[in-house]
Every structure is written in C-alpha cells, then in structure tokens.
Amino acid sequence: MMHPAGFFIVLIIYFLATLSFSFRLVFNQRSLTALALRITLVGFVLHLIFLVVHLISQGYPFLISRFDALQLTSLTIVFVFLLLCFFYKFSMTGIVILPVALVFYVVSLTLQADYRNLSAVLQNPWAFAHLLLIFMSLALFMVSFVVGILYLAAESRIKQKITGGFFERFPSLETLDRIHYRGLYIAFVFYTLGIFAGAGWSKSSLGVYVTNDLKELLSIGIWAFFALFLNLRVPQGWIGRKGIVLSSIGFLGLILLVVWNT
C-alpha cells in the first residue's frame, strides 16, 4: 500500500526546516532561526496528526509495523528537539538533530505501512506498550547521543583554542552536558518501563518473563549498564567527555539491539 500523501508533505516540511537551519548558519540572519523553528513546529503538528490518523485507520494493534515504529521514533526526536528549544538556547542544534529525525523518517517511508498475516503474538496489549516505550526511549537515547557528539566536537575546539564560527552559536559545554545527561536519564526511565512491558508480553504469550534469548539478555545487559552509569556518573566524576564516551558504549549496544530486532 502507498503511504498517504500527508507523509510526503511532512517530509518536505522537515526538509525545508533543515534547510532554514543551514541558511541560518551560512547567512547569519537571526530571523531565520525563528522561521526554521516555526516550520519545524508546523511539520511536527502535521506529522502528529497524520500518524494518529494513520494508526487509527490501520486499527488495533498499533505500532507493530516497522513503518509505525520508525515514524514514532522520528516524531519523538522532533518533539524532544522542540521541547529543548523551549527551555534552552538550543535551536542551532536543529541543523544536526533534524537530519537524524529525517533519516528515521525516510527509512520508514521505504517500508510497508500495512501488515497482513499478523501472528497472534503481536495482538497483545503488552506488545503495544512495549513497542511504544522502547521506541520513545530509542528516540531519547538518540537525541542524547547526538548532543553528546556535539559536546565532544565543541569541547575539542575549545581545547585546541579554535574560536569563532559554527560552534559559538551552540549552547555552552555545561548545557550540552546537562542535556546529554538528562536525556539519558529520561530515556532510561522509558527503557525500564519498556523492558517491564516486554516482560509482561513475554509472560502473557510465552508464560515466562525472561527467556534465554540472547537479544533479551543483551537488552537487560544494556539496562544494567545505564543503571550503573547514571548512578556512578557524579561520584566517579564522569562529567563531560569521559561520561559521554562511556555512555556511547551503551548506546552502540542499543543500536545493535535495534538492528538485530528489525
């Protein structure tokens, strides 16, 4: 089945927003930031409407196609970005974060939106809760990771005493580090709930909470890693670069898990 035309409109809007952020960088016109943000907001609202309409038209169970899952991830990334722009001087990072959302978006468009031959396993409310929470946490981990990369780049410039240009319009190192940490924290909460939902799903369909499946063990391993990291960050002084590099290990594990699962 073709994707509804609305999704292509949103694609164009997100693309325009990214373009406006790039122009802001090149031409240094402040008014372009407000314009880019407005375009992003319009894109987000339309995206939300189209996705909800799409999900309702597909009917229960929700979110079980890869199209839906990646759409949700992309939507959440844009939402988190807008939220951060509201609280921090964060809009310039749109030039990096929006393309990430776009990648998920474009990949989703290459996938089938409908799903026949549903297995009974997926027709389970636990499955919906699990997928919703896990893909939202993935989006949050993603934003946190990108902010971490920005931190590393900005920090190395300050260390190398290179000034001016692109990076001076980003938030301070302290702010980036804070966003990275808080992003991880909230992502972790979603991830934890998602794992619980997954266990519930497993119990109701297979009769056990945890199986010996390697993927399940890996996901619990990643959970344990982040649980330790978030608790030890301050006492161990994993602030700034060290913490970001360490957390990236967990993040890569997460990516491995997602790729493995899809």
| Footprint of other proteins (CB under 8 A) | 28-29, 154, 158-159, 161, 163-164, 167-168, 171-175, 178, 234-235, 237-242
Residue whose CB is less far from other proteins, 27 or 209:
27
Q: What is the distance between the alpha carbons of residues 124 and 107, in angstroms, rounded to a whole number?
A: 26
Residue whose CB is less far from other proteins, 66 or 178:
178
Please state the closest distance from residue 171 (CB atom) to other proteins, in A: 7
Residue whose CB is less far from other proteins, 116 or 159:
159
Residue whose CB is less far from other proteins, 66 or 182:
182
Direct distance between the N- and C-terminal alpha carbons of the chain, in angstroms, rounded to an integer: 20
Alpha-carbon separation of residue 144 from 23, 65, 123, 229 (angstroms): 25, 25, 32, 14
Residue whose CB is less far from other proteins, 66 or 241:
241
Please state the closest distance from residue 179 (CB atom) to other proteins, in A: 10
Please state the closest distance from residue 237 (CB atom) to other proteins, in A: 3
Q: What is the distance between the alpha carbons of residues 67 and 110, in angstroms, rounded to a whole number?
A: 8
Q: By three-state DSSP, how is residue 177 classified?
A: helix
Please state the closest distance from residue 187 (CB atom) to other proteins, in A: 21
DSSP summary character for residue 240: T
Closest by CA to 127, choosing from 74, 68, 186, is 68
Please state the closest distance from residue 181 (CB atom) to other proteins, in A: 13
Asked if 75 and 44 touch (Cβ cutoff 8 Å), the reply is yes
**Backbone phi and psi for residue 57, each to the nearest 5 degrees, phi listed first:** -65, -30
Q: What is the distance between the alpha carbons of residues 195 and 10, in angstroms, rounded to a whole number?
A: 31
